[in-house]
């Protein structure tokens, strides 16, 4: 049975998050570019769920040839291995959890052999171990708001889907998701008062593409207080920040708006850049996904 493991933190550093080790129970292709893995096993007792809809975990990938066994004592490994051989982290949203079946579902965007986690998920075998830290997360649709806007690209589909499913039947709003084409659309089960708009880019992703921003701007802005959830590529999110925050005057406390990824960046570089001007969505970043 896997036990949570937390390496001791050095002075001035954040304590490491406990790790959970589960196994791949099932793999399903739910859309041309989305693969769902169901994870479970005896390690599920270490999974501490959160009552939010943007739950995310940090999956740890170790080089198979090194034969490392999870959970990983990162402090010890840093002393034993060169930096390039340490397990790396990739951030993914928990699509759903089932405490009765003791499983979680995690959806992965797959574009051929691009990246690390996508190709792994495409070829993951039943019984394969998955080690991760988390979940974290802060957002869920709250009923004190008059209107809800949720938008993003493929990477935001799991969190948006979970949010939509949690909405009360009386909630109103709009969901806008940028995908490659109509083949990537799916039924989100939105309440009657929540319009779902699929935005087709019709080409390879380009961070200068404004199709999502243009579609968001076309949504009529109602009277009242809006809650915003906007996640996706960094430059696109910067543009949407300008619209929601500067033009519409949405209070930052009423927004969950941040980048899930950055075009042309591996996650390690993307995470490091969050501390630099190029990586900031706001001048001073609120406490969001990290």
> How much is the pLDDT for 263?
84
Closest by CA to 105, choosing from 141, 135, 147, is: 135
Please tell me whether residues 161 and 267 are part of one structural domain: yes
Q: Read off the CATH number of the domain in which 130 is found.
A: 2.40.30.10
Please tell me whether residues 163 and 75 are part of one structural domain: no
As a whole-number percent, the residues of the chain with pLDDT over 70 amount to: 91
> How much is the pLDDT for 207?
78
**Is residue 281 assigned to a domain?**
no
- Please give the Cα distance from 169 to 193 (Å, whole number): 8
> How much is the pLDDT for 16?
61
Please tell me whether residues 52 and 162 are part of one structural domain: no
**Is residue 186 assigned to a domain?**
yes
Q: Say whether the peptide bond before residue 71 is cis (omega within 30 degrees of 0).
A: yes
How do 129-136 and 56-61 pair as beta strands? antiparallel
288 pLDDT more than 70: no
Total of domains in the chain: 2
> How much is the pLDDT for 289?
44
pLDDT in tens, 111-125: 878 789 999 999 999
Please tell me whether residues 167 and 251 are part of one structural domain: yes
93-97, 217-221, 275-279, 286-290 — which is least confidently predicted?
286-290
**Is residue 67 assigned to a domain?**
yes
As a whole-number percent, the residues of the chain with pLDDT over 90 amount to: 78
More confident residue, 50 or 289: 50
**Structural domain harbouring 128:** 19-136
Choose one of 136, 171, 187: the last residue of a domain.
Answer: 136
Please tell me whether residues 184 and 123 are part of one structural domain: no
Please tell me whether residues 192 and 252 are part of one structural domain: yes
**Is residue 1 assigned to a domain?**
no
pLDDT in tens, 143-162: 999 999 999 999 999 999 99
Please tell me whether residues 127 and 178 are part of one structural domain: no
Please tell me whether residues 183 and 118 are part of one structural domain: no
| Residue 108 contacts residue 34 (beta carbons within 8 Å) | yes
Please tell me whether residues 121 and 160 are part of one structural domain: no
Give the per-residue SS3 of 180-245.
CCHHHCCCCCCCCCEEEEEEECCCCCCCCCCHHHHHHHHCCCCCCCEEEEEEEEHHHHHHHHHHHH
Looking at the chain, the number of H-run helices and the number of E-run strands are 6, 11
Please tell me whether residues 184 and 212 are part of one structural domain: yes
Q: Read off the CATH number of the domain in which 169 is found.
A: 3.40.50.80
């Amino acid at each position: 049975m896997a036990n949570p493991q937390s390496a001791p933190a050095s002075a001035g550093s954040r304590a490491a998050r406990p790790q959970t080790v589960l196994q791949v129970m099932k793999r399903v292709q739910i859309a041309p570019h989305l693969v769902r893995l169901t994870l479970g096993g005896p390690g599920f007792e270490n999974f501490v769920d959160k009552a939010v809809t943007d739950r995310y975990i940090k999956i740890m990938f170790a080089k198979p040839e090194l034969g490392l066994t999870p959970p990983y004592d990162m402090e010890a490994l840093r002393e034993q291995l060169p930096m390039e051989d340490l397990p790396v982290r990739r951030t993914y949203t928990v699509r759903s959890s089932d405490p009765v079946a003791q499983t979680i579902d995690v959806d992965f965007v797959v574009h051929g052999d691009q990246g690390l986690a996508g190709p792994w998920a495409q070829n993951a075998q039943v019984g394969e171990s998955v080690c991760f830290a988390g979940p974290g997360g802060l957002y869920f649709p709250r009923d004190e708001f008059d209107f809800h806007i949720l938008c993003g690209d493929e990477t935001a589909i799991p969190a948006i889907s979970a949010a939509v499913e949690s909405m009360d039947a009386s909630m109103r709003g709009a969901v806008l998701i940028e995908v490659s084409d109509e083949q990537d659309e799916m039924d989100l089960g939105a309440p009657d008062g929540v319009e779902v708009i699929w935005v087709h880019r019709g080409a390879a992703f380009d961070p200068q593409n404004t199709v999502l921003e243009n579609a968001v701007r076309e949504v009529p802005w109602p009277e009242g207080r809006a809650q915003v959830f906007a996640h996706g590529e960094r430059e696109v999110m910067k543009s949407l920040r300008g619209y929601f925050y500067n033009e519409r005057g949405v209070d930052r406390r009423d927004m969950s708006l941040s980048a899930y990824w950055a075009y042309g960046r591996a996650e390690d570089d993307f995470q490091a850049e969050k501390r630099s001007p190029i990586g900031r969505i706001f001048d001073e970043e609120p406490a969001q996904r990290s």
